[in-house]
Structure 1
Amino acid sequence: MGDSEEEWLKKGAEVEVSFEDEGFRGSWYTATVLRTVSKKNNKIFVEFHSLMADDRGSKPLREFVNVILVRPVPPRELTRTFKLSEEVDAFHNDGWWEGIVTAILQDSRYSVFFRSSREQIDFPDSDLRLHREWVHGIWVPPLEQQPPPPPPQEQE
């Protein structure tokens, strides 16, 4: 079978890519699939949204990446609040970086500590999402169910 996992790797699909390189571990960058998986080398050709190919920033970076470093874009619960010690991804330096909430600040801001860089940085909640892993085609931890909408009010 294996068709369902290919679905999110179709040409034009939005994905996230991680890098093995030192200094990039634990970070994910959004990209668009330009060419689907090559059976020969298991690589996929993508164009990054925020990484540039040149210093002027005029051309998006395009490259072949191993499909094991690619996942769908994780969903975001837009109304979520975060708890102390919760694992989050924070949007920083053009990518999503894995961190941990170390303080809850005013105005929906959070202080996040990054183990990889040993940095602590404050973010608005709009730049955070719950950290999830893509494991055998499902998100872990699983998506939280949004509460059902209230039943429509009967008009008198």
Structure 2
Amino acid sequence: MDEQSQFVAKHEGGYTLLEMIISLTIFLTLAALTPLMFSAIFSTSGRPLNHQEISLFFEQADKELQGTISVEKRWDRLYLMQPDGKEISYEKYGDRIVRKVNGAGFEVILQDIQRFRAEHDQYSVELIVQAHERSFTHKAILIQPYLNQWRTP
């Protein structure tokens, strides 16, 4: 046997390092693309808001309302003054409800809505959201636990 055939016979049964690197690269590429394929297949864009999303919005807003010192409505925006001095606002921006802190930045709370309205009196706040020809309403009673701390005897 010549040298070349001995070398081939010796290395015929295993993988080379190059083959392992190529197969690992293909595997990792497929593994990285799998979540993107699933998100494209099961995309939620274009689907109507369901009751759970709106209920979650009402629940989150309710938690912020309970710690509020004062509530004010200006220019179709709801402003909540917090005990730490922050002013939180909820407003409709395009087809979204956004939340701002001290007028800076924004956080999208709900999307694909047609109308958002907030009504309030001294003791309660009513949030009304209209999405896909349905109207959702939530009324929160203001507890205002911090209100007594700001009064002087």
TM-score w.r.t. the length of structure 1 is 0.23
> Going by fraction, where is helix more abundant, 1 or 2?
2
TM-score w.r.t. the length of structure 2 is 0.24
Q: Which has the larger radius of gyration?
A: 2
